[in-house]
């Protein structure tokens, strides 16, 4: 084999076989000693030639890889992305980096521990290390730097190199509104944190603040001058159970009260608080009258009703509380909520099943003329819902009803359905198993017959009704069989699914759209 300057590979023909031993190839005759020596010599020549061929192949493969890389590099110069104006490339960067944020910070949603896309884990810093052009585009796009997630436990308070990097990151934001997520589960040795101090200086630019901080560090927000003028969405979780060596947290609660008073743009809040007794009302004096979205906790139904009286602009509201008390007949005037379109109420207890008690429902004190969705979990019965619908005259607007209780009164449920002729979605959950029977699903038959009569009477009704029945007593097998047997009802404008286990979601953590496009 030779290799010329022109990089042409030449392979010699393999050595010819010895004529004296050819007769042994097609026979089982053993070679004589002299013949064996000839064969051994020829085998050595063939092995040497094979090594030369393999070396040539490897050389060609290496050259092929080099050519592929060169070809790829030159093809890349023709890529359309190289011709993109920096403004368009910057928008693409922003879409990639913020892809997970549109869902992550949909109102009420729980941000994941890691971004959905791998690029967002290290962006925008990652984009600055690809090439000079990308770095220039990334540095010239402040919006690309407008999202910052910081785990203060992971960072710790003794890493001096982190604070300058965070400061540089915030400088690159310039005047663009910020989405800030700060997480701290463990108490610090000191009441200050170098990274938190840097972040605090940008508070005037916070548009979305997602905070899970211990009270000792959270109270330092009180030192922010002029409040949070750009803050429109606040997501905050607060554990007020006394820590080791603490008698109580009343002192912290007093300091925390006025943290978010100066928030003129605040419209959406998810504020959760708890202590050793269970859910409590967050200790913040928020501008309640300007909120349009709220997902929060209170200690009781009475406290929840008192809160609703302050929500004059509310459009969507989720409240979970730990205890229910009987309302007195003269508890107060009805709360008129003219803008409310979605309401979810849930009582939570250490026990999974909570028994609803009459005269404890918040619905008895509400007027909601434009309600479109109502979700109730052990916080009302059919009579309370019917009273709300009648009092508010919201039957024409109500299209979705979820009613979960320890025991559903099927007769009252059917009476309620006669009123709600505009429903498109109905979910009933019965913890005691009153809704269905494997042998004769009487309620389902009565419901479907009544719905068909309503459609026949009111010819204008063309919408389909989707029904989900959660019956805890049923086995999964019976639930599937029932669902299959009820499939024929689809032709009558009603779709019925049966589940063997009632859904009991955590309504205050469910995702809710952060903008107004969800509502008309």
CB 348 within 8 A of CB 322: yes
Q: Dump pLDDT digits (tens) for 201-224.
A: 999 999 999 999 888 888 888 888
CA max distance for the chain: 122
Distances in whole angstroms, Cα of residue 216 to Cα of each of 148, 190, 243, 268, 443: 22, 9, 11, 25, 55
pLDDT at 471 over 50: yes
For residue 228, give every residue at least 6 positions away whose Cβ sits within 8 Å of its Cβ, in sequence order, or none: 203, 204, 206, 209, 260, 262, 263, 266
Mean pLDDT of 444-449: 82
Mean pLDDT of 316-336: 86
pLDDT at 485 over 50: yes
Q: Dump pLDDT digits (tens) for 137-149.
A: 989 888 888 888 8
pLDDT reported for residue 298:
94
Paired residues of 405 in beta bridges: 430
319: three-class secondary structure by DSSP: strand
pLDDT at 302 over 90: yes
pLDDT at 441 over 70: no
How far is residue 204 CA from its own chain's centroid?
Answer: 26
**Joined tokens for residue 465:** 């009704």
Q: Say how far apart CA 216 and CA 191 lie, in whole Å.
A: 6
What average pLDDT does the structure give for the chain? Answer: 82
Residue 52, judged by CB atoms within 10 A of its CB (0-12, 13-18, 19+), counts as middle
Paired residues of 274 in beta bridges: 239, 279
Q: Dump pLDDT digits (tens) for 346-404.
A: 998 665 667 888 888 999 999 999 999 999 988 999 999 999 999 999 999 999 999 98
Q: Dump pLDDT digits (tens) for 42-61.
A: 888 888 888 888 988 998 99
pLDDT reported for residue 367:
96
pLDDT at 261 over 60: yes
**CB-hemisphere CA count at 13 Å for 144?**
27
Paired residues of 466 in beta bridges: 425, 495
- Give 437's pLDDT tier (boundaries 50, 70, 90): low
220: three-class secondary structure by DSSP: helix
pTM score: 0.78
Q: Say how far apart CA 431 and CA 436 lie, in whole Å.
A: 12
Q: Tell me which of 100-114, 434-448, 478-492 is least confident.
A: 100-114
pLDDT reported for residue 449:
83
Give CB contacts under 8 A, 24+ apart, made by 281-287. Answer: 281/307, 282/236, 282/238, 283/238, 283/240, 283/253, 283/256, 283/257, 284/256, 284/257, 284/259, 284/260, 285/257, 285/258, 285/260, 285/261, 286/234, 286/260, 286/261, 287/260, 287/261, 287/263
pLDDT reported for residue 103:
45
């Amino acid at each position: 084999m030779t290799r010329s300057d022109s990089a042409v590979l030449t392979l010699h023909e393999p050595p010819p076989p010895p004529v004296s031993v050819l007769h042994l190839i097609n026979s089982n005759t053993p070679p004589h000693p002299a013949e064996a020596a000839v064969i051994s010599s020829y085998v050595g020549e063939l092995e040497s030639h094979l090594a030369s061929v393999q070396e040539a192949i490897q050389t060609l493969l290496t050259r092929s890889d080099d050519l592929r890389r060169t070809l790829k590099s030159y093809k890349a110069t023709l890529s359309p992305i190289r011709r993109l104006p920096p403004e368009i490339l910057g928008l693409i960067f922003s879409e990639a980096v913020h892809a997970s944020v549109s869902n992550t910070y949909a109102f009420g949603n729980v941000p994941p521990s890691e971004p959905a896309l791998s690029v967002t884990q290290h962006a925008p810093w990652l984009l600055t290390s690809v090439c000079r052009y990308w770095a220039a585009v990334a540095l010239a796009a402040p919006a690309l730097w407008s999202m910052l997630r910081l785990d203060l436990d992971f960072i710790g308070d003794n890493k001096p190199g982190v604070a300058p990097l965070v400061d540089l990151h915030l400088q690159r934001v310039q005047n663009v509104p910020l989405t800030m997520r700060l997480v701290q589960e463990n108490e610090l040795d000191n009441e200050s944190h170098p990274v938190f101090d840097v972040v605090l200086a940008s508070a005037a630019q916070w548009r979305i603040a997602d905070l899970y901080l211990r009270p000792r560090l959270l109270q330092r927000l009180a030192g922010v001058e002029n409040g949070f003028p750009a803050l429109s969405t606040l997501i905050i979780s607060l554990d007020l159970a006394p820590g080791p060596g603490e008698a109580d947290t009343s002192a912290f609660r007093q300091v925390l009260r006025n943290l978010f008073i100066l928030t003129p743009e605040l419209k959406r809040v998810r504020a959760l608080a708890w202590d050793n007794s269970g859910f409590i009302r967050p200790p913040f004096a928020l501008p309640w009258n300007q909120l349009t979205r709220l997902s929060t906790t209170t200690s009781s139904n009475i406290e929840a009703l008192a809160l609703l009286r302050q929500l004059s602009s509310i459009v969507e509201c989720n409240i979970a509380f730990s205890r229910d008390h009987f309302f007195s007949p003269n508890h107060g005037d009805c709360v008129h909520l003219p803008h409310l379109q979605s309401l979810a109420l849930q009582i939570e207890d250490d026990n999974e099943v909570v028994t609803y008690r009459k005269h404890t429902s918040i619905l008895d004190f509400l007027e909601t003329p434009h309600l479109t969705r109502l979700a109730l979990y052990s916080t009302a019965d059919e009579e309370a819902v019917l009273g709300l619908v009648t009092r508010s005259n919201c039957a024409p607007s109500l299209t979705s009803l979820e009613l979960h209780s320890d025991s559903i009164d099927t007769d009252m449920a059917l009476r309620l359905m006669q009123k709600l002729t505009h429903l498109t979605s109905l979910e009933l959950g019965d913890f005691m198993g009153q809704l269905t029977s494997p042998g004769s699903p009487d309620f389902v038959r009565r419901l479907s017959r009544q719905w068909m009569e309503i459609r026949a009477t009111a010819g204008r009704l063309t919408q389909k009704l989707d029904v989900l029945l959660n019956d805890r007593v049923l086995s999964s097998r019976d639930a599937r069989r029932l669902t299959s047997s009820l499939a024929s009802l689809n032709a009558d404008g009603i779709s019925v699914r049966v589940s063997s286990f009632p859904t009991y979601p955590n309504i205050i953590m469910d995702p809710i759209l952060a903008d107004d496009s969800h509502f008309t």
